[in-house]
Amino acid sequence: MSNKISAVNADGVSEPFAAEMAPLEAFSHGERFGSSFRHLSSFGGGDHVGVALEELAPGKESNPSHYHMLEEEHAYILDGALTLKLGACSFIMKAGDYVCFPAGQKVGHSLFNHTDAPCRYLIIGERNPNDVIVYPESGRVCVRLTGEGYDKASTMEYWQGIDASASRPLPQE
């Protein structure tokens, strides 16, 4: 592997690179979640579209089930097989299979490796700084712009909590 931090040359031009040159990162959370990945788009100098080469170990789930309000995601299976959890449905996907998760499609999705071999796939998606991500399993709502998460169960009506009975005095100068 190269010691380069990106595929952008000294003139600021993005050059081709082998996927293995992008740094390998990994995450895990408890026994259920974990994967390893290479952010190809970031290494290549991109920031509008995210492309990651991911590997999901046997028995692991990629992330909590979620959907995006403003971002579209795509997954293309390269090697192995996994189970796509899409709302209440499950689909077995294998090398050569593809799925799109359109923005605003209010059905949670996650990937689970039900096999005894690693599964490699590409994840492609927008990088919208204003996206809102909903996690149906936990009821969490993530507002990317603020970097905060909220409990979806605590919804409010537009005028809830607002005193509409009297006008407020203007500040004195």
- How many CA atoms lie within 13 Å of 40's alpha carbon, on the beta-carbon side? 15
pLDDT of residue 1: 46
pLDDT band, very low/low/confident/very high, at 169 (cuts 50, 70, 90)? low
Q: Which residues does 66 contact at the CB level (< 8 Å), separation at least 6?
A: 108, 109, 110, 133, 134, 135, 136
Spatial separation of the C-alpha atoms in residues 110 and 133, rounded to whole Å:
13
Residue 160: the pLDDT is 81
- Phi then psi dihedrals of residue 20, to 5 deg: -65, -15
Alpha helices in 25-130 (DSSP H): 40-43
**What is the enclosing helix (H) or strand (E) of 76?**
strand 73-79
Please answer whether residues 60 and 27 qualify as being in contact, where contact means their C-beta atoms are separated by less than 8 angstroms: no
Alpha-carbon distance of 138 to 132, in angstroms, equals 15
List the alpha helices (DSSP H) in the chain.
Answer: 40-43
pLDDT in tens, 4-53: 789 999 999 999 999 999 999 999 999 999 999 999 999 999 999 999 99
Tell me the per-residue pLDDT of 81-126, one tens digit each, with 9 for 90 and over.
Answer: 999 999 999 999 999 999 999 999 999 999 999 999 999 999 999 9
Q: What is the pLDDT of residue 163?
A: 78
